[in-house]
Amino acid sequence: MIKNLALIPARKNSKGIKNKNRILFDNTANFIKKLKFIDKSIVSSDDDIILKKSVKYSFTNHHRKSSFAKDNTSIKKTITNICNEMKLDKNDIIWLFYLPIVNRVKKDFENAFKLTKKNNFKSICSFIEADYKYHPFYSWKFKKNHISRFLKNDVFRRQDLPPAYFHFHYICCFKVSELKNLNSELINEKTQPFKIKINSKSTLEIDNKEDLKNFKKNV
């Protein structure tokens, strides 16, 4: 039987905000509890305080080794280690929950879960349409004193721009067996896109103290 596994990666150290993952843990844990399709929740951390919080929610703890809790350790490498150490079944589906993403909508996850029922399901990731100001057609590259288009094009009017999207791990799920085929950002060309709007509250991510202050006001 295929199991749907919620995975919270939560390192002890945070560059921008001290103890950020400790502060944000309960918000995500409470949301996961609302998802009826989740069979098991795993917390991977090198922080004893976070692991103690996890026990209160009856989550399963994975004690992360320091070698997998470094600033330059990729999330793919970390999850691969978790899969190996916990001996996860290749057909199980991992749902990744980044703690800094704080505003989630239950219906979005239920709709994404329905997509996993399709025979060709391998992975899903949410995508946001790029604002025209940041469209790759408007980007340039410099080489000494020479400039050139990052992508060759002659588009001037923004209404003529082809739609462009960037990924955002608001929703990110994949089969354990597919992990080896994903890139370092957990997507590939077979990933099924789940579109969300850029002005949605769902795109809020806690990156700095001001973000955290605004989030606490609305909790």
Task: List per-block mean pLDDT (blocks of 10 residues) for the chain, which spans 219 residues.
Answer: 95 83 95 98 96 97 89 91 96 97 94 93 94 81 86 83 89 97 96 82 76 77
From CA 90, how far away is CA 176, in angstroms rounded? 5
Q: Where are the domains of the chain?
A: 4-126+167-218
- Residue 56: predicted pLDDT: 97
- Residue 17: predicted pLDDT: 85
What's the DSSP call for residue 131? P
What is each CA distance from 173 to 65, 76, 191, in whole angstroms? 23, 12, 10
Give the class (CATH, top level) of 4-126+167-218: alpha beta
Structure-block tokens of residue 155 = 């588009």
End-to-end CA distance of the chain: 37
> Do residues 13 and 48 make contact, with C-beta atoms less than 8 angstroms apart?
no
- Spell out the residues 6+ positions from residue 214 whose beta carbon is closer than 8 angstroms to its own: none
**Residue 210, amino acid:** E
- Residue 191: predicted pLDDT: 96
Virtual torsion, Cα 46, 5, 73, 76, nearest 10 deg = 170
Radius of gyration of the chain measured on its C-alpha atoms:
19
